[in-house]
A and B are shown apart, each in its own frame.
With several copies, the nearest count.
Chain A
């Protein structure tokens, strides 16, 4: 019978050090630890190194606010609600953020290797592309591959030959073991058992791979309840370090069976943070003008909140207007 180490949102963000290598839960615009990212912006974090299987709104906020120095991942954007990551685009083109690109399958392999404690993972995905172009190895060009940064491998990848079945050449991708995992989960048990709903994404890998795991959740529930269906649980209590209780922490990204993605909010963000001036104005309104997550929710208002609330039968909102009809 273990207990959880429950801390506040401010304390949780306070655990992040400038320069930390961070990975996140979720997928593009689903189950991202957004409230934690807002608070990190308020606390003025700098020089963060983000490893992302794929990025989304949360990373666009951190990047736009100037918290990020290094970004590696396979993709950034908000899918149909903002096709490209306009903030990363601006900062990458402006030379403010060092970027290193992978394919989705490469990134999945890297976090899987980190999760299971092996230094690399084999894959034959995405061979023959510029992802493997040594000239485009962003981290190497920034002098990060000399072994001095424990969160950057000495090589971006290795080509090896299979000697077991004569399959020819394939790739080894290096593991990634971030310093901190910031994980949004709808439910955490009183003993720290973690559950996510509908789809697990890479959340278990992110938890296992990271040195320190902070889980921000909608609600803390009896562990006994979660243990009735142990195949549905994502992580055990000893895999996580801190828990923050913070309803709607993922907004404007969605959380299945709790709330839908806030399409209007995301579209507005994407359309109105293309320049730094625009971003700063947006951040003033949604991050700096509120001092707590409770204030943020008040600002969203009941009508918006209720529109986003998910159907308990379907897992998503049936009230939100999504299209043109």
Chain B
């Protein structure tokens, strides 16, 4: 196993490797992470192998702090339960853990996002007669409303980063206050139930974060891309005044872990 903590060079890693590594870096040691299927699983597992061995992962179907020896392909997978601390049901996951306030970090994906971090995973077009239907919320809205921090992993496309998304599945920093639907700061709707909100969006081109007003800004650009590349793939006026530099590539050690320990079967990593 390559133990080098040197960063790999462009050409030595695939976009998905960087996504996984950048995702892993969002995990703090000790975090309780509530993660969805797919890339989030790679990121949290990589983090556990590296700087965050004390982080614990909850999957929606009810397994808590599992130590799968084979990568799950579903959050309901039998593999999630191997050596887990507790295997309950969805009531335990969503109410006993999430609503109870134990979750530090949510790891989510989405089809569309706006500049406040609102996410759409439900439909394209008018909800009442849509053009396409996606999966629907699942735990996206819940995790995003109750985790202290949320990280999104998405594809960078102009049609996915929109000024106004077609349906707000999952709440960002400005949300709709019902019954009127008036847009208000998240805290106004969540009141004493407020715990935090979206903190980062990681795509195949860049890492975005949210400012004090809850507005998305560009933080780092992945090696091989420019700020202009990113702007060209964002459908709203992106704040690029706070760019802090280039996204750190995966290290050789991280790459080795990803391919040899995290996903040796090549389920996500080709």
Contacts and interface: CB of A to CB of B under 8 A. Distances in A.
Interface in B59-93: 60-67, 69-70, 73-91
Interface string B128-165: 11111111111111100110000000000000000000
A264 interface: no
B62 A117 contact: no
Interface stretch (B5-13, B97-105, B214-222, B236-244): B97-105
A191 B37 CA distance: 26
Interface string A40-59: 00000000000001100000
A89 B132 contact: yes
Interface stretch (A71-79, A244-252, A301-309): A71-79
Contacts of B229: none
A84 B133 contact: yes
A50 to B, nearest CB: 13
Contact of A54 (B69, B138, B177): B138
A91 B141 CA distance: 24
Interface string A1-42: 110000000000000000000000011111000000000000
B224 interface: no
Task: Name the 8 nearest CB pairs between A and B, nearest first.
Answer: A128-B175, A168-B191, A325-B266, A323-B265, A27-B76, A126-B141, A105-B142, A324-B266
Given A112-B91, A208-B96, A126 B137 contact: yes
18 contacts: A27-B76, A28-B75, A30-B76, A83-B135, A103-B142, A124-B190, A125-B98, A125-B141, A128-B178, A128-B190, A130-B169, A136-B167, A167-B192, A199-B61, A199-B87, A227-B83, A230-B84, A230-B86
Q: How large is the interface on A (under 10, 10 to 19, 20 to 34, 35 or more residues)?
A: 35 or more
Interface of B: prevailing SS: loop
B207 to A, nearest CB: 24
A105 B178 contact: no
Contact of A88 (B133, B175, B265): B133
Interface string B196-233: 00000000000000000000000000000000000000
A230 B99 contact: no
Given A53-B90, A201-B90, A322 B73 contact: yes
Interface string A85-117: 100110011010001011111101100100111
Contact of B131 (A74, A93, A256): A93
Interface string A120-160: 00011111111111111010010000000000000000010
Given A95-B129, A128-B177, A324-B266, A193 B86 contact: yes
A228 B90 contact: no
Interface in B251-270: 263-268, 270
B2 to A, nearest CB: 18
Contacts of A300: none
Contacts of B66: 230
Contact of B95 (A116, A159, A166, A239): A116
Contacts of A64: none
Contact of A73 (B94, B134, B136, B181): B136
